[in-house]
Amino acid sequence: MNSRARNFLRLLLVCIVLLVVQYLTTIDVPNHLDSLIPPFKNLKSSVVDDGRRMHRLTVDNGPTGRPPGAVDREPADYEDTSTEENKEHEKDIPPFLGIPNSLFRSPYHRYWETNCSGLFQNDDAVIKATNVMIKAARVDGKVPMPSDESFFRHTQNCTAFRRTRNYPERPNSKEEEDYPLAYIIATHKEVAQVERLLRVIYQPQNIYCVHPDKKSPPDYQRAIIGLVSCFDNVFIPSEVESVVYAGYTRLKADINCMSDLLEKPVRWRYVMNLCGQDFPLKTNLEIIRQLKAFKGHNDINGIIPPSYIIGRTKHHFIVREDGKLVSTSERKTPAPHNFTIYFGNAYLAATRAYVSYVVNDQRAIDLLEWSKDTWSPDEHYWVTVQRYPGVPGGYPNATWDSLARFIKWGDIHEYPKCIGKNVRAVCVFGVGYLQHLVRLPHLFGNKFHYDFDPVTLQCMEEMLEYRQRYPGSIHQFLSEFPNTTLIWQNHTAYLGD
Ligand SMILES: *[C@@H]1O[C@H](CO)[C@@H](O)[C@H](O)[C@H]1NC(C)=O
Ligand SMILES: *[C@@H]1O[C@H](CO)[C@@H](O)[C@H](O)[C@H]1NC(C)=O
Ligand SMILES: *[C@@H]1O[C@H](CO)[C@@H](O)[C@H](O)[C@H]1NC(C)=O
Ligand SMILES: *[C@@H]1O[C@H](CO)[C@@H](O)[C@H](O)[C@H]1NC(C)=O
Ligand SMILES: *[C@@H]1O[C@H](CO)[C@@H](O)[C@H](O)[C@H]1NC(C)=O
Ligand SMILES: *[C@@H]1O[C@H](CO)[C@@H](O)[C@H](O)[C@H]1NC(C)=O
């Protein structure tokens, strides 16, 4: 082998190592932190079977257990005059043909001329033509989107902003009015996408805590302040964290929001934590119906940690001067109060009673304190509390199943393969994936990138608008909804005092 070939091989090896590192850093973080190497002792095995991707590992038998301000518009083509109840009868529901006068159309977000109906039906010609259109719009690989600065200006006249964006000012139905929800949205960039997410999940009876990363630039912070200032039921938590990748502050951001949410007058039933790149796959009413089917349980998944995950809570981790979290050789004491440490998802749907436990119970507080110097505590904390005896909404069996979030990991073959692009082993959905998104049982999907494929967002908005008009229409896509075949179905939830 000559030296050129050897150099080539060396380069190849370096590339492979870099790819592995990319693959492992999968959490939503500011780009400048993306390159962090997780301190796994055994890099190789974690690539093969990182627990987050072991989607099907189930039981482990571990312990315990119309808004007044809205623009006047012609009734959309699909609007029928039948009563609310009749709308639920599927035979009366017209097929989804796209929403020509969508409430989501707005001067703030470019409207793309496409056939959403064709996209949802996997019409090849429509998908190809749409992709050509998106590709042509990209500048340096990205579709231009409204800047934080321009969004801030829009929010300077809240009346005009809310009216132009058709933010609803009344609940859609009695059922929804009677079942308020709380949301936490952890964000660090691109307020235009955050606003789009907020708009699509916004209901006046709900409450929203938007957490901007303290490290984000001033234009971003200003835009977020501008946005939340336009609503009584959207707020920034009283304590804002500088979010360190895989660090405690990511978890603390959610807990800061939870603590404030409990103090608000809204009697919300469940809380869901989102990030800026999530998007709903269900309407507000559909989400409520699925949550009701949980029968007082939390949707918090997790399993007994695989061996290579245990190191995350075995050693004392510190945040280095450069802002990276690194392991030390100092061993940690066992978790307080006999907590068994589980390993799960950072995303949840949890009852108010569970949140109250997390915020107020000394054991939960002690576990949080103990978790401060661990790797990615947002992936062990929720499930560890969830499975502690006597915790409201908990259930004894460990499962990797969850409806809170659909994430298409590169190596989970249970779901159709990525159509879009892969970023750190996670699929960023493109219009070709809409056919699948509309048929999933999950409440939210991750990831969506406005600057990669804004048409996916636009078509999801139109689909959700259609499904909101016709509450029974979801059954065209999901025969069984809400999902009742969950592992905790036969368990009776402890609802709290
Ligand atoms: C959109 O696509 C669907 C499915 O291919 C097709 O039936 C429909 O006619 C198309 N609509 C328009 C307006 O082109
Ligand atoms: C805000 O917008 C509304 C509606 O467009 C308009 O009537 C009002 O005069 C504006 N207020 C200010 C202060 O510009
Ligand atoms: C932990 O569990 C052991 C045995 O089950 C028990 O003796 C001990 O009191 C428990 N400790 C705490 C702090 O609950
Ligand atoms: C859940 O765990 C309990 C206690 O370990 C066990 O008896 C039960 O069979 C499990 N349920 C399921 C559905 O696996
Ligand atoms: C219901 O949810 C469980 C858990 O995620 C999943 O395994 C099952 O396929 C879902 N069933 C339906 C009909 O969506
Ligand atoms: C719940 O109980 C029913 C009736 O006994 C049974 O058919 C079903 O399989 C159980 N579901 C689970 C998830 O254990």
- By CB neighbour count within 10 A (0-12 exposed, 13-18 middle, 19+ buried), where does 135 fall? exposed
Residue 337 Cβ < 6 Å to ligand 3: yes
334 lines ligand 3 (CB under 6 A): no
8 A C-beta contact, residue 355 and residue 262 = yes
Atom nearest to 395 CA in ligand 4: 1
- Ligand 3 atom at minimum distance from 338 CA: 1
Which ligand 2 atom is the nearest neighbour of the CA of 157? 1
Identify the pLDDT of residue 411.
Answer: 79
> What Å distances lie between residue 173 and 176, 201, 278, 469, CA to CA?
5, 15, 25, 11
What are residue 326's DSSP bridge partners? 318
**% of the chain surpassing 70 pLDDT:** 82
Cα separation of 464 and 283, whole Å? Answer: 6
Q: Note every long-range contact of 12-15, with CB atoms under 8 Å and residues 24 or more positions apart, other chains counting.
A: none
Query: Any idea where the domains of the chain sit in the sequence?
Result: 116-306+341-476
Mean pLDDT score of the chain, rounded to an integer? 85
- C-beta 115 within 6 A of ligand 1: yes
Among the ranges given (21-35, 208-222, 465-479), the one the predictor scored with the smallest mean pLDDT: 21-35
Give whichever of 72-81, 210-219, 480-489 has the largest mean pLDDT.
210-219
pLDDT value at residue 466: 97
Give 310-373 as a DSSP string. Answer: HHHHHEEEEE-TTS-EEEEEEEPPPPGGGPPP-EE-S--EEEHHHHHHHHH-HHHHHHHHHGGG
User: Using CA atoms, how far apart are residues 343 and 364, in angstroms rounded to an integer?
Assistant: 16
Look at residue 178 and tell me whether its pLDDT is greater than 60.
yes
Q: What class has domain 116-306+341-476?
A: alpha beta
CA of residue 155 to ligand 2 center, whole Å: 11
**Closest Cα partner for 185 from 233, 246, 143?**
233
Measured CA to CA in angstroms, residue 389 lies from 27, 87, 299, 343, 441 at distances of: 30, 43, 16, 17, 29
Instruction: Say how far apart CA 251 and CA 368 lie, in whole Å.
Output: 9
Q: Is the pLDDT of residue 328 over 50?
A: yes
Q: What's the pLDDT at 310?
A: 79
3-class DSSP state of 429: strand
Q: Write the pLDDT tens digit of every residue in 243-278.
A: 988 889 999 999 999 999 999 999 999 999 999 999
Do the Cβ atoms of 343 and 376 come closer than 8 Å? no
What are the residues whose beta carbons fall under 8 Å from the beta carbon of 333, sequence distance 6 or more? 370
Active-site residue, selected from the candidate residues 190, 379, 462, 465: 379
Residue 379 falls in the annotated catalytic set:
yes
Could you tell me where the DSSP H helices lie in 187-318? 191-201, 218-228, 248-263, 284-293, 307-314
CA–CA distances in Å: residue 70 to residues 159, 161, 227:
11, 11, 18
Amino acid in the structure at residue 443? L
Give the integer Cα–Cα distance in Å for 44 and 21.
10
Mutate to test the pocket of ligand 3, among 333, 338, 361 (most ligand atoms within 8 A of CB): 338
Q: Does ligand 3 come within 6 angstroms of the Cβ of 35?
A: no
pLDDT band at 194 (very low <50, low <70, confident <90, very high): very high
The Cα–Cα gap between 252 and 369 comes to 10
Residue 254, classed as helix, strand or coil, is helix
pTM score of the predicted model: 0.84
Report how far ligand 1's centroid is from the alpha carbon of 446 (Å).
27
Q: Tens digits of per-residue pLDDT, 60-90?
A: 333 333 333 333 333 333 333 334 444 466 7
Region of poorest pLDDT, from 120-134, 147-161, 400-414: 400-414
Distance 118 CA to ligand 1 centre (A): 5
Give the pLDDT score at 14: 56
CA separation for the pair 126, 158 (Å, rounded)? 37
Q: What distance in angstroms lies between residue 240's CA and the mean position of ligand 2's atoms?
A: 32
